[in-house]
Copies of this chain bind each other. A is one copy, B any other.
Amino acid sequence: MRIALLGGTGDIGEGLALRFARDTDHEVLIGSRDPEKARAAVEEYEAELDARGAESNIKGFVNEMAADRADVVVLSVPPYYVGDTVDAVADKLDADTILVTPAVGMQGDEDGLHYHPPGVGSVTELVAQRAPDDVPVVGAFHNLAADALANLDNEFDLDTLLVADDADAKSTVRNLANEIEGLRALDVGPLANSAEVESVTPLVINIAKYNDGMHDVGVKWL
Chain A interfacial positions (CB closer than 8 Å to B):
109, 111-112, 114-115, 156-158, 161, 186-190, 192-193, 195-197, 199-200, 202-204, 206-207, 209-211, 214, 217-222
Contact = CB atoms under 8 A, between A and B. Distances in A.
A190 B111 CA distance: 7
20 contacts: A111-B192, A112-B188, A114-B193, A114-B195, A114-B196, A115-B195, A115-B196, A115-B199, A186-B210, A186-B214, A187-B210, A187-B211, A188-B206, A189-B209, A195-B199, A197-B203, A199-B199, A200-B203, A218-B221, A219-B221
Contacts of A214: 186, 221
Contacts of A204: 221
Nearest to A205: B196
A211 B186 contact: yes
Main secondary structure of the interface of A (DSSP, over half): mixed
A161 B200 CA distance: 12
A189 B111 CA distance: 7
Copies per complex? 2
B222 A210 contact: no
Contact of A196 (B161, B203, B209): B203
Contacts of A193: 111-112, 114, 206
A211 B78 CA distance: 30
A217 B222 contact: yes
A23 B7 CA distance: 50
Given A157-B222, A188-B207, 7 more contacts: A158-B222, A188-B206, A195-B199, A196-B199, A196-B203, A199-B199, A218-B221
A115 B112 CA distance: 20
Contact of A206 (B111, B158, B196): B196
Contacts of A156: 222
Nearest to A191: B111
A190 B206 CA distance: 10
A222 B220 contact: yes
A219 B222 contact: yes
A189 B222 contact: no
